Structure formats: structure tokens, C-alpha cells
Structure 1
Amino acid sequence: MNLENIPSDQPVLIAGPTASGKSALALKIAQSGGGVIINADASQVYDCWRVVTARPSEADESCAPHALYGHHAYDATYSAGHWLREVTPLLAGPQRPIIVGGTGLYFLALTEGMAEIPPTPPQVRAEADTLTLDQLTQLLDARTAARIDMRNRARVQRAWEVLRATERPLADWQDETPAPVLPLDKCSALAVLPDKNSLEARIRQRFSRMIASGALDEARAMRSRYDPALPSCKAIGVPELMGFLDGRLTLDQAQEDASVATRQYAKRQRTWLRSRMGDWTKVDLSP
């Protein structure tokens, strides 16, 4: 795409599925027109996974300022609300914000506003943890179900917890959302949607690149602290690498399982982008 068409006086938002090239685009924009690259990916906030979650490399970070990457411990509690509170002051900083990531909920919270829902009591969360995804799904109202990815346990569980704790559906809270921090008409919003075949080719190569770049070393360093219930340990590639280290999977099996999980995740992200970000400028970075 022609970077000259992006106004230099507006924040830039770049959303896209995993392995779509959005981080490389953010770096190009920062190098050509200046700005600070800000993370909008839920997995990349944790300090334990640089390679596995494809966080910017140290070389990339030396080329442009970066923020909100790897700044929380592996077991820290983190949500869209935490992210919104952290990103808001950066919007008024001295450098143009270039916000990039694959967590669509973060972008919607930023550009459409976020409901002020009371914190979930620990006992409600503990109860939710004992239920299966099907059980959680069956208890949700139709309006809320239509607004979230019903195959994403974290999103479904959050909606169930809100209903259980407040006795009001998540959709009701969302309908009372305050004004957004950054409306779409005040920024350049880009949705990276590469050709499906090109994206799948990138995904097939992703795990091999991770291994070559030190993903196994990251997994070994986290092995004693690994907890599959933690959001940080649910990043694609982490369960598969732990399966290999535990002897349950060969490296080829781990690669195949990770590739399948990545393709499924990318498909959900593409669907989200097309359904929830219709007003964003579509960008195809396929060669």
C-alpha cells in the first residue's frame, strides 16, 4: 500500500489475523512517518513469550519506539479494560500512536467505547472455571451470543461471568457504553485481510521459524511455571511445545497441531474483521 496516503497527523490502527504482516506494516509506517508502535494483542502483553507470540524482535524495537509489549508477568490478570486504561494516556503522547494487533475486542473498546461492568467476584470466576464451554454457552442470552465469538472460551466465560455476577446480560451493559476514547473518524483504521492462500502459506512456515528463533528455549524456561489455565499459557504454540517437552508429541506433531490451531484462529479473526470492522480500510499485503 502507499504509505503516503496515511495522514501523518492522525493515530493509525492496524488490525489483522495472525501472520498477516500487520506488525511489519506498523514498523514501515513508523519509520517513514514517525510514531510509537503500541501493542493491541492480548498474548503479547506477557513477558514470557517473545518468540512464541511473534512479539517485535529487539532489532525491530531498536528501529522505532514500542509500548505495551511484554510488560506484564505470565500470571498477571489482564483484560480489555486493563489495556484501554494503559493505552489511553499514550494517545496524548508526543508521538503519533500506531496501534497494531489481532485482538479485535481491544480495538472495539477503543473506537466504540467499553461498558463499565463491575469486577467479577473470585467465587463467580471459580464457578465458571468448573463449567465446560457448552455449559457456558447454553446459559447465554441470544443478543449477547450474537455479539461474541462463541468458540472462544475466554469471551464466552466472560459473558457468563457478567450475567452470573450482575444478573444482567453482557449485551445490556454494552448498550450503555460511554463515548469511545478514539472514534474511527479521528484516526486511520486499517484492516489487514490477506489472500487466504497466502495467509495459510505464512502460517505453515510460522512454527518452523519459531523453533529456529528460540521458541523451545522459551518453553523450557517456562516449563516449571506452565499452567494451562492461565491466559498467557493459552497462546498458540505454547501447549504444543509443552506437549513436545513432556514427550506426548513429536516435534512434527507439535508443528502440525500448532499450524491447525493457528489456521482456525486466523479464520475466526478474519470473520470478526469482516463482520465487526466494515468501516475500516481493507488492506491486502499478499505478495
Structure 2
Amino acid sequence: MSSAAPDLRPILIAGPTASGKSGLALRLAETMPAVILNADALQVYDGWRVLTARPSQADEARAPHRLYGHVPVRETHSAGRWLREAGAEIAAARAQGRTPIVVGGTGLYFAALTEGLAEIPETPPEVRAAAEARLAELGLEGFAEELAGIDPAAHARLDLRNPRRVMRAWEAFQVAGRPLSELQAATPPPLAPLGEVRALRLTPKRETLYAGIERRFEQMLAGGALEEARAALDWQDASPSAMKAIGAGELMAHLRGEMTLAQAREAAVQATRRYAKRQLTWMRNRLGAWPAAQSPQEGFERLR
């Protein structure tokens, strides 16, 4: 009797920082032929391991890991680039008879994977500067009225009180020569529709999550986070997106003598808690149709 064919549907595990996602992914990967794919916008950078809680080298030896630490800190990463890379890695894993396990805390990456992503060009620095100048000249209301003239559909549905949203629509027209609404309407089909994957959203209780955040930051300090932040002080051309590692700014401020280590630790823990809260809210709003589990153990029982 032949054995059953392996289930090669991608497994998607989303959740806030410190919720146990990576441990769950590794535990699953050790029960089947699998490849773990990163879906965290900060774990892609080569300069951060400890402060972004990237899997350790020992963990990486236990199962194949992809899209971790492969982007130089001087480069700006994007959801579009991640989607192209993830699509290629998912296809490669399945061609090898391995189940792709996509895990991370960047909800936009999962939305792009399961819903599709509009092909909107990156905004060059000179166009961003022009948008900021135009906003300063016209004010938000006047700038929004200018957008109405070039993209009435975007103007009708955008939150016009959010200057970044208005700027992005204005910039898209300047770069692509087409309205943002038109670019979004041409969104290609998703690479992994929700009906063709096994998805899970970790939703730990807040007190459990916050305790985990504090405990993990202590482990980061013991594991070399301060040394990692000290090395980052010498980065001359790091991209702004690479410098968003939670806790890095606080530890670098301590190293510059601007606060004590205890103050830096407390500030970093508070910043991480706020970040986790935003992640939970975003995922509840955008990934609310996904099955949820309060703990990695519950998630393991659902997915194995």
C-alpha cells in the first residue's frame, strides 16, 4: 500500500511579536518535510539577529529557513519584494516535496500573499520631496483637492485626514502616470488564496503576551542585544526601514549616554508592547477570517 501524498498546501502562521510563532513553525517543521519562510519585515536584515528575535543558528540547523537576514541594512525592503521572493521560495519548496511554513508578524505580507498586491512603483526620494513640499504649500485640504483632480476615485475612498495616504496616492500618479485607484484595480490574483492554505493567527491573552515580551527582552540582553546595538552605531548608510528594530533605538541611546540601561530596558519593553498591540489590532481587522489560537500549543494541535 502506498503512503499518502504529503500535504503541500502552505501553512501560514501570523501573530504579534513574542507570541511563540517561530517556535511553533519549527516544531511543525520537525514533523514533516518543510521549509520555514520568514514573513517579518525586520528579520530580513543581515545586521539584526538578537533584537529582531531571528531564529538562532541552532534553530536554523534543525530545519531549512529562508528569507532571514538576506537583505543588507543599507537597502530598503518592501512588501512587493517580499512577495516576489516568497512566491519563488514557496514554489521551490513544493517542487522539492516540502511544505512551505510562512511565519511572521508583518500582517501586510500575509495580506499580499492571500489577497494579492497592487503593483505600485516605489516612490523615488525626489518625488517624495515634491509631495512634502506640495503638502506644505497647499495644506492638507488643498492637497487633497489637488488629488481629486487627478484621481477622483482614490479621493472618494481615502481617509483625507491622513496626510500619508493622500501623499501616497499623489506620488503614485507622479511615478506611474496612472491613478492609484487604477493601479489597485489591476491587482494580480493572489499567490496563495486563503482557501488554498492552512492559516493560523496567534491571539495570546494580553497579560501572557506582555509577560513574554518582558521575559524575551531580558533574554535578548543576555544574548548580545547591547553588542548588536553598539555595532549599529557605526552604520553610516542604513536605510530608515532597517533602523526600526524595536529596542534598538533605546539601547543605542543608552550607549550614547542619554539614559541608563534600566531606563532603556523599560522604554524598549514599553515600545514592544505598543507594537504588539498594533499588530493584534491590524491582524484582527485584516486577518479576522483566519482560524485563531491563543497559544502555540493550541496552534500546533490545529495544524499538525
TM-score range, shorter chain: 0.7 to 0.9
1:83 partner letter: W
From 86, 104, 107, the equivalent of 2:110 is 107
From 249, 259, 270, the equivalent of 2:259 is 249
- In the TM superposition, what is the alpha-carbon distance from 1:127 to its structure 2 partner? 4.5
Give the TM-score, by structure 2 length. 0.81
From 224, 236, 240, the equivalent of 2:234 is 224
Q: 1:55 to 1:82 in 2, by over 3 A?
A: same
Q: Deviations over 1:227-277 (max 9, x none)?
A: 686111111111111101101111111111111111111111111111111
Give the TM-score, by structure 1 length. 0.85
The aligned length equals 274
Q: Equivalences for 1:41-56 in 2 at 5 Å?
A: 41-56=40-55
1:32 maps to 2:35: no
1:210 maps to 2:213: no
5+ long unaligned stretches in structure 1:
1-6
Q: 1:47 to 1:194 in 2, by over 3 A?
A: same
Q: Equivalences for 1:88-167 in 2 at 5 Å?
A: 88-93=87-92, 94=96, 95-127=98-130, 141=155, 143-145=157-159, 161-162=171-172, 165-166=175-176
Q: Deviations over 1:16-57 (max 9, x none)?
A: 111111111100110012200000000011000000000000
Contact 1:13 1:187 in 2 (8 A): yes
1:185 maps to 2:195: yes
Contact 2:127 2:174 in 1 (8 A): yes
Structure 1 ranges of 4+ moved more than 6 A: 129-132, 135-138
Corresponding residue for residue 15 of structure 1: 14
- In the TM superposition, what is the alpha-carbon distance from 1:143 to its structure 2 partner? 2.9
From 164, 169, 176, the equivalent of 2:186 is 176
| Equivalent position SS for 1:100 | strand
- In the TM superposition, what is the alpha-carbon distance from 1:158 to its structure 2 partner? 5.1
Q: 1:50 to 1:145 in 2, by over 3 A?
A: farther
Corresponding residue for residue 195 of structure 1: 205
Larger Rg computed on CA atoms: 2
5+ long unaligned stretches in structure 2:
1-5, 148-154, 298-304
Contact 1:228 1:239 in 2 (8 A): no
**What CA distance in whole angstroms lies between the structure 2 residues aligned with 1:156 and 1:248?**
36
**What CA distance in whole angstroms lies between the structure 2 residues aligned with 1:156 and 1:189?**
33
Q: 1:77 to 1:111 in 2, by over 3 A?
A: same
- In the TM superposition, what is the alpha-carbon distance from 1:159 to its structure 2 partner? 5.6
Moved more, 197-206 or 39-48: 197-206
**What CA distance in whole angstroms lies between the structure 2 residues aligned with 1:257 and 1:12?**
34
Q: 1:207 to 1:17 in 2, by over 3 A?
A: same
1:118 partner letter: P
1:214 partner letter: G
Q: 1:164 to 1:187 in 2, by over 3 A?
A: same
Percent of residue pairs bearing the same amino acid type: 54
| Equivalent position SS for 1:55 | coil
Quote the RMSD (CA, aligned, Å).
Answer: 2.9
**What CA distance in whole angstroms lies between the structure 2 residues aligned with 1:142 and 1:272?**
23
